[in-house]
Amino acid sequence: MSSLIEMIESIRSEVNDTATSHLVRQETPNGIVDSSNKIFYTAYFPVSQIVVTVDGTQLPATAYVVDADKGKIKLTTAPVTSIVVDYYFNVFVDGDITVWIDHGCKACGFNGVQNIQQIPEPLTGAVEHYAISMACDAWARKYAEGFSWTVGPESVDKKGIAAEYRAQGDQAFKTATIMRDDYYKRYGKREAPSYALKQFHIPRYDVIR
């Protein structure tokens, strides 16, 4: 049996969205540099391992407070001339992946993530692959809509990447269905449980303050 936290981390690894997958260097965060403003926002979030450089000097961690989920930086002293930041970020929050796992649980005949500890080991792989298929679909949508960040070259083939993620998602869905059906057939139940996955629409990745 897998815990929810373990499954989230496993899915992040499979879809390239771990704590160190996406690095942004020398970004000028959103906010006015006017010797009085102390609050700035990163372009992407949630963030981790953030390094803040103000007026050419790297600040100690005690010189600012970070709201990682919002990418908000609150400085002790306002910048006079400049502020730049380096940081890692996640594309998906844990809540996104939890929803996909919940759908995967239901696709395998269980009520949702609240029952994840009751799911037999052979079926946890099916749950995870259903969630991976939805995560890949979300990635494909983002690239199809022109999603990018400062670490990637502008010449990147976003349509090609979107197609690759769609293919990966389709394969994960097929694998999940085979794993699920094979498990139930061992117990004399054909095509059980009788559950049809809905088409879950993933909203585009918008920065919301």
pLDDT in tens, 101-139: 999 999 998 888 988 888 888 899 999 999 999 999 988
Residue 144 lies in a domain: yes
pLDDT above 90 (res 146): no
Residue 193 lies in a domain: no
Give the pLDDT confidence score for residue 196 in this predicted structure: 47
Question: For the purposes of burial, counting CB atoms within 10 Å of the CB of 198, is it exposed (0-12), middle (13-18) or buried (19 or more)?
Answer: exposed
pLDDT above 60 (res 89): yes
174 and 153 within one domain? yes
* Domain boundaries, position 171: 4-18+92-185
Residue 68 φ/ψ, nearest 5 degrees: -60, -40
159 and 99 within one domain? yes
Residue 51 φ/ψ, nearest 5 degrees: -125, 125
150 and 58 within one domain? no
pLDDT above 50 (res 17): yes
Query: How many Å apart are CA 157 and CA 164, to the nearest integer?
Result: 11
Query: How many Å apart are CA 103 and CA 176, to the nearest integer?
Result: 12
Residue 37 lies in a domain: yes
Residue 199 lies in a domain: no
pTM for the whole structure: 0.77
Closest CA to 31 of 70, 88, 89, 69: 70
The two structure tokens encoding residue 144? 């199809």
108 and 47 within one domain? no
Q: Average the pLDDT over 23-38 and give the result.
A: 96
Residue 55 lies in a domain: yes
Give the pLDDT confidence score for residue 163 in this predicted structure: 86
